[in-house]
Each structure stands twice: as C-alpha cells, then as structure tokens.
Amino acid sequence: MRLLSLFAITASTLPIAVYAAEPHSYAQPDQVQITHLDLDLTIDFPQQQLDGQATLKLNWKNPKAPSLVLDTRDLKIASIESVSADGKTAPLKYALASRDKQLGSKLTIATPTHPSQVRIVYTTVPEASGLQWLTPSQTADKKLPFMFSQSESIHARSWVPLQDSPAIRFTYTAHVTAPKDVRVAMSAINDAHHPLDGKFDFDQPHPIPSYLLAIAAGDLAVKETGPRSAVYAEPSVVGKAAHEFEDTEKMIATAEALYGPYRWGRYDILVLPPSFPYGGMENPNMTFATPTVLVGDKSLVSLVSHELAHSWSGNLVTAASWRDIWLNEGVTTYVQGRITEALYGKGLADEESLLSARALEKDIGAMPANAQKLAPDPRGVGADDSLSAVAYDKGSWFLRTLEQRFGRDTFDTYLKSYFNHFAFQSITTEQMLAYMKPNLIEKYPGKMSWSEVQDWVYGTGIPKDAPLPDSPHFDAIDKERSAFLGDTLTADKLDAKGWNTQEWMYFLDRLPDVAPLPKIKELDAAWHLTGTPNAEIGMRWYTHAIDSGDKDVWSAAAEHMTRIGRLYLTLPLYKAFAKTPDGLAYAEQVYAKAKAGYHPLTQQAVESIFASAKTADK
C-alpha cells in the first residue's frame, strides 16, 4: 500500500475511495472535488494576459471540510464568491499563500456552507509558466499575435485556479472573447467553420484531468484531412501540414480496430509556431504539434500516432499521479508503434523501437537508481523532471515483452479490455497491476512470472532477456559506421543516399561521444549535414560537431537554436556549447537574441544549463 493513501473510509458497506498521493498538488480530493469547470476568458494580447472567471462545481466529500484548497501559480485574484443552486452569490474569504518555486501558491478558500459552486475572478501574468504569448513578428505570417497553453505537467494552475492533479477529473465549458480575425481553439470539440467574430464557445463533455486543459489563439486556418479530422495552422503552414498529416483518418481507424472506438468525436491537430516546447501534446480533440515534424516526407508522423494513441492511454485511462506517468507515456509509445507498423510497415516500427531501446540501454546505467524504475519510490517534487526515457522506452519495451510472451492476439484483447475497464478513470500503477494479474498473468500461466512483472515495474535497469527487434538496415549501418571510423570506408562511400530520417538518426546516435574532428569534416563535406532542414538530424549533427570542436558549424547551430524552441531539439546544443568556456560564451550570446522568442519553460531550462555550467567551473 506504499504510495496509496486511503481516505473517506466511512461505513464498511461504502466503496473506499483510493487517491494517489500527489505531491505536486495542494488539492485535497478526500475533502472536495471539482466536477465541472465553467471558464469565461478574455484574451488580452496587448497586456499578454487572460482575464478569467472560473466557476467550479463541487462535490463535497467530507461534511466537515472547512475549506476548498486550490492550486495557483502567479495568478492575480480579484475576488472569490460562492454561487448557490439558485444563482445567489456571496463573497468568500480566502488566503493566497506565498509562492513555492515548484508548486506555486496554495489558495485556501473558507467555505463554511459548502456551496455547490465557487467563482474566482482573476488575471494571469505575461510570464505565466503554462502560456506563451507571441507578437505578430514572432509568427510565420506576421499578421496577428498568437498565444497557446501547455498545461502538462503542472502548469494549468498558471492560467486557471483549480485542483491541478491528474487524479481529479472534471468536464468543462468555456466562453472565450478574442480580437476579431483571431481563431480560438481548445481541448474540446472545435468548429472549423466558426466565424472569426471574437466569440467562441467550447464544451468538453468527458471528464478530463487538469493537465489536458488547453487553449490557443492566433491567425489559424483550417484544412480537412478526413471525415473527423483537420489541421489548424497559420495560413502559410496549413497546406504543408495537411499533406504531412494526410494519414490521420487511417491512424484513427487502425487504433479503433485494435482498441475499440475513438470516444472523443473529432480528432484535430493544431500546428504551433516553432517555439512550442514539446513535440506534441495530446490535448483532447485537438493535439498540439511542433512544426519541426513537417519535413515533407511524412518520416516523423509517428508523432501523430503517439498523440492519437493517448486518446486511449492517457486521456481515457489516466496516470493518477506524475509518479505513474509511464501508464500514459509507456503504454502510448507501445500503441504508437502498433499504429506505425500497421500503416508504414514493421521495418519502420522496428527501427523506431530500436532507436529508443539502444539509446535507453546506453543511458540508463548512469541514472540514479530510483529514476531507472518505471514506478519509482516516492521522490521529491519536480513533475516535469519525471519525464524521462524510462517512462517512454522502458515502459513500451515492457509492453512489447508482454506481447511477445502472450502472443499478439491475446495481448491485444487484454489491452483493449484494460482500456474499457478503466475508461475515464485515473489509476495508479498498483491498480494497473491488480488488473493485469488475474486478467493476463494468471489467466495464461507459464508465459511470464509475477516476479518478472515486478522486476520490470519496480526494478532498476533493463531485464536481461528483454527482446529487441531485428533490423537489417540498422545492422548494415552499424557496419558502415565502424568501417568509416576504422578508416576502411570514406564518408562519400557510405551507402547513405537512401537513408531515411530514422537511419540517419541511428547512424549519428552511435558515433563516439567525441568524434575525431577530421571525421566530422569528412562527413559534412560528403553529406552536407550542416544546414539540414530536418531538425532531428540537425540536433544530433550539431551536437557531435560542437563536441568535436568544429567551430565552422557554430553559426548554423545558432540558427537552429534560435528558430526552434522545442526543448528536446534545442537543449542538447546548449549543453554541448556549455562544455567549453568559448562555447558557453557563444551560447549566451545566442540566447540573448533568442530568449524573447522562447517559451517560459525553454527559458528556464536554458538558464539552468548555464547556471550549472558556471557552478561546475568553480
């Protein structure tokens, strides 16, 4: 029962509510829970703030609860009132605690009468951790300003006061006022034909956790990609995006054939400006995506398979705490592979599994023991820190192992029943395992022992017999890389003309950490990697070139870092530069210019790289 706390133990006949201990939220779900959020927002571009009114419908659990405790970060609270069933309002007393660096400010609202609703009037600050505001000149088409949210993990609290824990689910409605010509999109059903009259209404009828609240607004055009899918993007980007994502309907149909109906209605994709700090975010009905996957050949559309897969693993069955995040990301990465395999073939799916498995094998040993576990022991706060390759790649590796042991048909049936059983619930790892034991492990004895399951979930490292796919292409690349490094093959003789994105990634991933400078020069002369339009390749290439001391790539690297704010593609370059005093000084100059275009999360991450480089110096 470690990590679970039991609350609400009343008469023995009543079901016992189990809540995951969630150290990243001040909410007290054993006392009271939000069941519905009604938002009224005005998007104020000149002030870079949201003017908000959040009306929370409450389900009181403890008749003696003295207060409603909410999460906030940097919100300016104007007033708080109770709203009774007949619409009467009365002011409520509240206290906003001082700001915790990780968690923000605990908001305690005195609620002696247990009102059915509470309304909070507030504004956000321009630096809100969950929002980015862009001026027209920072957009592709330079016409209108742009803003977007990124709530996962614990940033919803910076734009809505609420119980910011994935264990708590609520439906929401929203009324949003925006300047004329701007289109507003949210994580709910969106109407592609809505007039741009400055008034938008949204309804999310399914209960979702707070990290799936999302909003974006700007110069957004819409192009259909199927009967229930479209892409939203700036006008100059939308055509390219619709082409790249033309297989969306096939992806939805593939996932449905495996795991049951898509339950959310439409599945749209919003392509954000390049400062979006992640690759993708599975906001319900409206995946948010980085433009860095628009490379023209559909080679990076596994991102869509991934975010779509979250419609089952994550949005339908949700990790109840950030410690259980592998239930979202590991299961999703497995499902992503199945969609990729069905649409683009086993060869590509195996390459993607191998890329991540090989990278994990290389890195996992250097991680702290607790971080190597799928379900770690209780640890300090820092929800975004829990996002590591372990949740994604050890998690999906575990599921591929289960599939191999039990057979694809059996495992598919099991996984579908798991999604149905826990639909629209937030669950812990232990709840997942309690379902798996009778329904998979014991139902088909002799396939996998319980202690093997425990080793995958609670053990460190990667179990010894973890199966890896074969990839003849990757084997050939390993040989060519060795020959090239061993001076028996010159760079221009590498058989790389036909390499796809993943094959280049694999070639570059397994170059030595610091490759000899002449080898880097030779590669670039033969294959012109500097200036590549493919940022997955660029990130790997520039990192190697900087590590090898190749100053000739610095300006192209700076261009990559300035243009792209996606953490995963930009931070490795900052880290590479920060290893030498000259490099660090150069990266600081690049940052000084790039900073204004970066998301608050990217700014914070770059600044902490600089800070640790400087303390390491002393």
Q: How many residues line the site for ligand BES (CB under 6 A)?
A: 16
Token pair of 106, please? 């605990």
Q: Which of 200, 264, 278, 288 binds ligand BES (CB under 6 A)?
A: 278
Catalytic one among 22, 152, 307, 329? 307
> Which one of residues 387, 466, 517, 571 is an interface residue with ligand BES (CB under 6 A)?
387
Question: Which is it for strands 67-72 and 105-110: parallel, antiparallel or unpaired?
Answer: antiparallel
For the segment 297-336, give every residue that binds Zn ion (CB under 5 A): 329, 332
- Smallest separation, CB 276 to ligand BES (Å): 9
Rounded to the nearest whole angstrom, what is the least distance from the CB of residue 440 to ligand BES in the complex? 25
Helix (H, G, I), strand (E, B) or coil at 14: coil
One of 122, 392, 591, 598 is an active-site residue; which one? 392
Distant-in-sequence, close-in-space partners of 108: CB < 8 Å, separation ≥ 6:
67, 68, 69, 94, 95, 97
Residue 306 found at the interface with ligand BES (CB under 6 A): yes
Q: Which of the ranges 84-92, 247-255, 274-282, 488-496 carries the binding residues for ligand BES, by CB under 6 A?
A: 274-282
400 binds ligand BES (CB under 6 A): no
Judged by beta carbon distances under 5 to 8 A according to partner kind, the member of Zn ion, ligand BES, none in contact with residue 33 is none
Q: What is the closest distance, in whole angstroms, from the C-beta atom of residue 78 to Zn ion in the complex?
A: 36
Name which of Zn ion, ligand BES, none residue 281 binds, using a CB cut-off of 5 to 8 Å depending on partner kind: ligand BES
The SS3 of residue 562 is: helix
Using rule CB under 6 A, residue 307 touches ligand BES? yes
Residue 392 falls in the annotated catalytic set: yes
Q: Is the dihedral of CA 408, 409, 413, 414 positive or negative?
A: negative
* Min CB(310)–ligand BES separation in Å: 6
Asked if 152 interacts with ligand BES (CB under 6 A), we say yes
Which amino acid, residue 386?
S
Nearest to 146 by CA among 160, 129, 132: 132
**Using CB under 6 A, which of 183, 206, 310, 323 touches ligand BES?**
310
C-beta closer to Zn ion: residue 331 or 357: 331
Options 145, 280, 291, 395; binder of ligand BES; rule CB under 6 A:
280
Q: For residue 434, which of 327, 290, 322, 297 has the smallest C-alpha distance?
A: 327
What residue has token string 């909003």? 215
Which position among 68, 120, 176, 303 is part of the footprint of ligand BES (CB under 6 A)?
A: 303
Contacts of 597 (CB under 8 A, 6+ apart): 134, 138, 275, 562, 565
Q: Give, as ranges, the residues between 561 and 600 that touch ligand BES (CB under 6 A).
A: 568
| Residue 83 binds ligand BES, judged by CB under 6 A | no
Which distant-in-sequence residues (6+ apart) come within 8 Å of 453 by Cβ? 433, 436, 441
Q: Which of 141, 143, 125 is nearest to 133 (CA)?
A: 125
Q: Which residues contact 48 (CB under 8 A, 6 or more apart)?
A: 126, 133, 147
CB 524 within 8 A of CB 544: no
Q: Is 81 considered catalytic here?
A: no
Specify the residue, 310 or 338, whose C-beta has the smaller distance to ligand BES: 310
> For residue 144, which of 102, 99, 184 has the smallest C-alpha distance?
184
Side-chain-side CA neighbours of residue 388 (13 Å): 20
- Tell me whether residue 25 or residue 28 sits nearer to ligand BES (CB atom): 25
For Zn ion, the closer of residues 288 and 507 by Cβ is 288
Give yes or no for residue 281 binding ligand BES (CB under 6 A). Answer: yes
Residues with a known catalytic role: 307, 392
Question: What residues line the site for ligand BES (CB under 6 A)?
Answer: 152-153, 278-282, 302-303, 306-307, 310, 329, 384, 387, 568
